[in-house]
Chain A
Amino acid sequence: MNKPMHISWDMAPARLSARRLSPETRAMISRLRTALIYVVLGLGALVMVAPFLWMFTTSFRPVAEAFTLPPRWLPGLDSSLESYRRLLASDVPIGRFFWNSTVLATTVTLGYVATTTIAGYAFARLRFPFKNALFALLLVSLMVPIQTTLVPLFLLMRWLGLVDSQWSIIVPGLTGAFAPGMSGVFGIFLMRQFFLTLPKELFEAARVDNAGHFRTFWSIAVPLAGPQIAALSVIIFTMTWNDYFMPLIFLNSVDQMVLPVGIMSIRDPVGNSSATSEVIAAVSLSILPVLLVFLVAQRWIIDSFMRAGVKG
């Protein structure tokens, strides 16, 4: 071979055009490629949706058929609300669980987002001693799993007299230090990275306008961080809603229980199949709010993570 081979992205089109494809052929190739992409994405979506589909249809199926193999994906003629009826009729206070979960997830989200946004702003925009060292320390704490800090946290909560009340989860969440299933550092990091991407002049202009730190934070930084705050809220809400571990440890009495822990109490000790179908009904119900939140907010979540990825 006399000529060196140049491998580049341009090669394929160059070869195609060398064969002088008609515009129609080229358009068809591009259509085919789009179609292929959709097929792959569709298959992926199917895999994602399948467990949910199975869960929802099973919750409507007669109790005895919960575990038919191969699994049935679509609701049949025999669908009924039997499982839901039995769930509501049982002595498990599912309504109470729902209320508890809602209060807990909402309060933790509000507190967590407020504190991490303020902290993120401080780390991005304020000057104070040991700022970088503190931030490094925070990042290091990401590596400490919550299980290892649980015992001291539990002792602290007991000392404060908060164990077996929602406050034992809300208070650590408010500080942004702990959130169920996730370190507070995540929120601080996300917000800090966002505030760092805002041009410095914006904050200088605010300073020339005589806006203090709090004014600048509230009137300039927060409105611009809308998508990030929304995304963070959705993530924290979902995580808190789904969290099993912290409520299991901190909330013991039935009237304090939240959905994930409460649902487990539906299972009778023997684990018979009729209770399983009630569990599935309860899980189906418990997923609806999260699903709703995601449907409404997915645009912001994707947008904010794309940005964090590109600019962070």
Chain B
Amino acid sequence: MADLHLEGVTKSYGAATVIRGIDLRIPFGEFVVFVGPSGCGKSTLLRMIAGLEPISGGVIRIGGTVANLLEPAERGVAMVFQSYALYPHMTAYKNMAFGLKIAGLDKSEIDQRVTRAAKMLQIEELLHRIPKDMSGGQRQRVAIGRSIVREPRLFLFDEPLSNLDAALRVQTRIEIAKLHKIVDATMIYVTHDQVEAMTLADRIVVLNQGRIEQVGTPLELYRTPANLFVASFIGSPKMNFFPVTLEREGLARGRLGMAIPAPAGPPGPATLGVRPESLVLCEPDQAFLSARLQFEEHLGEHRLIYARTSDGIDLIAKEPDGPALTDGATLHFRFAPESAHFFGPDGNRLDHSTKGTH
């Protein structure tokens, strides 16, 4: 149906290029999350898809039609803004009905759509209030309602939860996920919060400096990050990195002399990545790594151990919570070899599956 297709899309402001050639195909009905650090261009890309920002190069196709020059409404998009952007002088009802009125729908149709959306979002009792008299969460629902009533092919969310408190954020996140199940439309969601990205997305697009670093399902990104950037961006606390030397076919050696099975690659320096949850405390004779305890955070279900190796590399380990460790104690860690990630000097993943290609 209305697949979204980006081909070599770029954006420059004068000499500054913020989007450097994005190629992406989003099948109709998919929930895609754009994630990346601030300034990576994710919001700009979303606004370019919306038609709020003219594109400098490339082609945007919606359902096969070139949409480069189409107005937002002609693209069949609806957008939920970070600041909600409700019309302050209109009631929730009028906010939701505004676009429908412009579209020339008759009164009973407008009323029916607004009422249906209000019911879905449980904001029926707010319909005659103006935004000033609503809480942040209520405003957010009305903003979502305003996008639903237009029955768009494409929902665009620009960091919609970042102005909500933690509890409301979780609740609204779940509701957006439910919404995606109900409505028949593509959703593109921009966030810098990787938990939102992991929980909501069918596929995540990781952006950095105007480029796509990796596209994949949340688990693909978590399990097989394509490069150091994705590896450090996805996962919380972030992945630990250690310099290693690839010695020969299938073995890497760290500075402490440990030898770890590694994918084949040209001998030389490489980076070993281990997620905090893969590090396990163990006896010295089983250890791949030893480090001195800096401090620990007890979170009840688990604890975060912050430690420093003798060559000055900080690491974080996530362990089941237990009695406090002795300050400054030397801790020994091991990890399952298959949970290790290897990255070449260019930052790209060295994979078991890519054996022989490097």
Contact = CB atoms under 8 A, between A and B. Distances in A.
Interface of A: 199, 201-202, 204-211, 215, 219-220, 223-224
A210 B72 contact: yes
Contact of A208 (B83, B88, B99): B99
A210 B85 contact: no
Contact of A207 (B52, B87, B88, B89): B52
B192 to A, nearest CB: 18
Nearest to B147: A208
Contacts of A219: 87, 98
Contacts of B52: 204, 207-208
23 contacts: A199-B85, A201-B81, A201-B82, A201-B83, A202-B85, A204-B79, A204-B81, A204-B85, A206-B87, A207-B72, A207-B73, A208-B73, A208-B78, A208-B79, A208-B99, A209-B98, A209-B102, A209-B146, A209-B150, A210-B72, A210-B73, A215-B102, A224-B89
Interface string B69-100: 00111000111011101111100000000110
Given A199-B85, A204-B85, A210-B71, 20 more contacts: A201-B81, A201-B83, A205-B79, A205-B86, A205-B87, A205-B146, A206-B87, A207-B52, A207-B71, A208-B52, A208-B73, A208-B77, A208-B99, A209-B73, A209-B98, A209-B99, A209-B146, A211-B98, A211-B99, A219-B98
B75 to A, nearest CB: 9
A117 B267 CA distance: 71
A189 B18 CA distance: 33
Nearest to B89: A223
Given A208-B77, A208-B78, A215-B102, A201 B85 contact: yes
Contacts of B86: 205
A210 B78 contact: no
Contact of A210 (B50, B83, B99): B99
Contact of B88 (A204, A209, A215, A224): A224
A13 to B, nearest CB: 34
B15 interface: no
Contacts of B78: 208
Nearest to A215: B102
Q: Is the interface of B mostly helix, strand, loop or mixed?
A: loop
Q: Which of A207, A209, A215 has most chain B Cβ within 10 Å?
A: A209
Nearest to A201: B85
Q: Which of A202, A204, A206, A207 has most chain B Cβ within 10 Å?
A: A204
A202 B95 CA distance: 11
Nearest to A203: B85
Interface of B: 50, 52, 71-73, 77-79, 81-83, 85-89, 98-99, 102-103, 146, 150
B102 A208 contact: no
The 10 closest A-B pairs by CB, nearest first: A210-B73, A209-B99, A201-B85, A205-B85, A208-B72, A201-B81, A223-B89, A208-B79, A210-B102, A201-B83
B19 to A, nearest CB: 18
A207 B98 CA distance: 11
A285 to B, nearest CB: 38
Contacts of B73: 207-210
A258 B272 CA distance: 89
Contacts of A202: 85, 87-88
Contacts of A201: 81-83, 85
Nearest to B156: A208
A209 B85 CA distance: 12
A166 B72 CA distance: 47
B221 to A, nearest CB: 30
B81 A205 contact: yes
Contacts of B71: 207, 210
A129 B99 CA distance: 29
Contacts of B99: 208-211
Contacts of A207: 52, 71-73
Contacts of A209: 73, 98-99, 102, 146, 150
Contacts of B98: 206, 209, 211, 219
A210 B77 CA distance: 10
Contacts of B83: 199, 201
Q: Which of B72, B85, B89 has most chain A Cβ within 10 Å?
A: B85
A170 B79 CA distance: 45
Contacts of A205: 79, 81, 85-87, 146
Contacts of B82: 201
A200 to B, nearest CB: 9
A202 B89 CA distance: 11
Contacts of B85: 199, 201-202, 204-205
Nearest to A224: B89
Contacts of B146: 205, 209
A202 B146 CA distance: 13
A219 B85 CA distance: 15
B94 to A, nearest CB: 10
Contacts of B81: 201, 204-205
A248 B358 CA distance: 92
A202 B131 CA distance: 13
Contacts of B103: 210
B256 to A, nearest CB: 53
Contacts of B50: 208
B332 to A, nearest CB: 53
A21 B50 CA distance: 63
Nearest to A207: B72
A208 B150 CA distance: 10
Contacts of B102: 209-211, 215
A206 B79 CA distance: 11
B71 to A, nearest CB: 7
Contacts of A206: 87, 98
Q: Which of B71, B81, B86 has most chain A Cβ within 10 Å?
A: B81
A223 B52 CA distance: 24
Nearest to A222: B89
